[in-house]
Amino acid sequence: MGKQNTEYESVAISDNLQTNINYIKDIFKKDSILRIRQIKMSTGLGTGVDCCLVYFDGMVNSDLLNDSVVFPLTRSKIVLPPASLIDHIEKKVLFAGELKQTASITEILRGIEYGDTALFVDGYSTVLLINTKGFDTRGISEPEDERILQGPREGFGEAILLNTAMLRRKLQTPDLCIEAQRIGRRTDTNVFVCYLDSLVDPVMLAELKDRLSKVDIDGVLDVNYLAELIRDHPGSPFKTTGVTERPDIVAARLLEGRIAVMVDGTPAVLTLPYLFVENFQSDEDYYLNWLVSSIGRVLRFICFFLAISIPALYLSLVGFHEDLLPTMFALSVAQARGGVPLSSLLECVAVIVLFEILKETGVRMPQSLGHALGIVGGLIIGQAAVDAKLISAPVLIAVAMAGVSGLMVPRLRGIVFYARFALLFLGYLGGLYGFMLGISALLIMIFGLKSFGVDCTVSLLNPSPQGLKDLLWRSSWRKMRTRPAFSQDRVRSADNNQ
C-alpha cells in the first residue's frame, strides 16, 4: 500500500455497501487496475441483496473468480434470516478453496493486494476474503549460479507460497514450522521464518525474531535487505548469513537445526547460522561419492590460499628475499622486468584491477558476449601489455593464477578481493614478515566470527572426530552420525559404524 497499514487499524467496516465502496475507491483513487464489480443476489423473497466484489486486475485467476464466485452468487436463491446470510454464503454458496470472514480493513487491503477478492454485502459489517490468487509466476527451473552435475534441478521462484510448498514437499513432517510476519512500512512484505521445532536452538530462534522485530525500513524487496540489517559484524567482508535458491539446500540446513528466512518476491533464501566452512562446500558435495567430493573441497581450500597469496608472495620474494629464489628463476625475473617502467607493486595493482574489470564485464554482459569478452580480452590485452613492456610476464602469470584460483571460491569473492590487496601491500612493505602478519590477522578475524551466537569455526574451536568429518573433507554418511553443536538433537544417525 502507498500508506502505512497502521493508518487503517482503527477504521471500522460500515454495514452500508456504498459507504464501503466509496472508502475503498478513495484509498486507491490513483490506482487504475482496481476492479469493483457490483452484483445483486436473489433471496427468493422478491427483493435482492446488493453486494460487490473488490479485486485487482491481473492479480486474480479470472476463470476461478467467474466459476467459483460470480456464477454461484448470481444463480443462488437464498431464503434465510438476514443474520445468517454471510455464514450461508461462506459454507454453501461459494466454491472457492479458502474463505475467511474479517472486519479488519488492514486484512482486507492486504488480501486484495495479494490476489484475494473481497466480498462486501449490503447490511453487513463483515467481509468475506476469497482466495482467488492467479498472478503469473516464473516456472520452476535450476538456479543459474548454483548449477550442479548431479542432484535435484529445481529452484525457488519469486512467489513465497510456491517456495514454502516446495520446502514442505522436501520435509514432509509436522515438525516443520513456518511463521509469517510483515516487514516494510510501505511494501508490507511477507516474510516467513522456517525451522524444525525439535532441532532448532530456541535461544537462536528468539534472537532472530528479536532482530527482525527491530527492522524499521520502508521496503524489503530482497533477502539482502534483511541480511544487512540483522547480520553479525556489519562491517566485516565475511558473510555471516548464507543465501541459496535451492530447496534441497534449505531442507538440508533445517535438518542440521538451522533457520531459513524467506522473503516474498525473491527466490533467494537466507540460512543461519552460517559457518565458515560453507564457503568451501559445493551444492553437489552430498550427491556425489564422498571420495570424489572431498577432492573438490580440498582443492577449494588450497585455491582460497593461492587466490589471496600468490601476488603477495611474488612481491615478497622478489623485493626482500631474492636469496630464497633459485638462481635461474631470479635471473629470469630480472630479465623479464628489464625495460618495464612501473614498480612491481604498481604492476600487480594494475593487472589485478584489469582482471577484475574483465571479470565484472564478462558477468554483466549478455552471456553470448561475456565469455568471448573475458577470454579474448584477457589474451589480447595481457599479451599486448607484455610485448609493449608495460608489465612483466611473471607478474601477469602470478595475478592470472591468483584470479583463476579465486573463481573456485565464488562465495568468498569479497574477502578474496580485499585480502589480496591487503597482503599485497604488506608483502611489498615487509616481505615475508609482512605477509605472515597479514595471514595471522586474517586468521584472527576468521576465528572471531559469530553468526547468531554461534562461532563460525565451531568445528575447529571445539574439535572432535565427528565435528571434523565434514570440514576439510566429507566423510561417508555412515560416519557422519551427529549434527552441528548448535542443534538441540545432535544424533543424526544411529549407525554404529565409525
384 has a pLDDT exceeding 60: yes
Task: Show the 3-state SS of the chain.
Answer: CCCCHHHHCCCECCCCHHHHHHHHHHHCCCCCCEEEEEEEEECCCCCEEEEEEEEECCCECHHHHHHHHHHHHHHCECCCCHHHHHHHHHHHHCCCCCEEEECEHHHHHHHHHCCCEEEEECCCCCEEEECCECCCCCCCCCCHHHCCCCCCCCCCCCCHHHHHHHHHHHCCCCCEEEEEEEECCCCCEEEEEEEECCCCCHHHHHHHHHHHHCCCCCCCCCHHHHHHHHCCCCCCCCCCCEEECCHHHHHHHHCCCCEEEEECCCCCEEEECCCHHHHHCCCCCCCCCHHHHHHHHHHHHHHHHHHHHHHHHHHHHHHCCHHHCCHHHHHHHHHHCCCCCCCHHHHHHHHHHHHHHHHHHHHHCCHHHHHHHHHHHHHHHHHHHHHCCCCCHHHHHHHHHHHHHHCCCHHHHHHHHHHHHHHHHHHHHHHHHHHHHHHHHHHHHHHCCEECCEECCHHHHCCCCCCCCECCCECCCCCCCECCCCCCCCECCCCCCC
Q: What is the pLDDT of residue 243?
A: 92
Query: Span 318-325, mean pLDDT?
Result: 79
Q: If 0-12 CB within 10 Å is exposed, 13-18 middle and 19+ buried, where does residue 111 land?
A: buried
pTM of the complete model: 0.83
pLDDT at 261 exceeding the cut of 50 = yes
Q: CB-side exposure of 31: number of CA atoms within 13 Å?
A: 18
Q: Is the pLDDT of residue 173 over 80?
A: yes
2 pLDDT more than 60: no
Mean pLDDT on 384-404: 82
Across 481-487, average pLDDT: 80
Chain centre to alpha carbon of residue 9 = 32
Mean pLDDT of all residues belonging to the chain: 84
C-alpha 455, offset from chain centre = 21
Inform me whether the pLDDT recorded for 466 exceeds 70. no
pLDDT for position 208: 93
Tell me what the mean pLDDT of segment 43-58 comes to: 80
Asked if residue 166 has pLDDT above 80, the reply is yes
CB-CB neighbours of 455 under 10 Å? 19
Residue-wise pLDDT for 184-230, tens only, equals: 888 888 999 999 998 999 999 999 999 999 998 998 998 999 999 99
Q: Which of the residue ranges 9-13, 93-97, 285-289 would you say has the lowest mean pLDDT?
A: 9-13
Rounded distance between C-alpha atoms, residue 69 and residue 66, angstroms: 6
- Residue 73, pLDDT above cutoff 50: yes
Q: For residue 331, which phi and psi values (nearest 5 degrees)?
A: -65, -40
* Confidence band for 62, pLDDT divided at 50, 70 and 90: confident
Q: Is the pLDDT of residue 455 over 90?
A: no
Q: Report the pLDDT value the prediction gives residue 81, as an integer from 0 to 100.
A: 63
Q: State the pLDDT confidence band at 442, using cuts at 50, 70 and 90.
A: very high
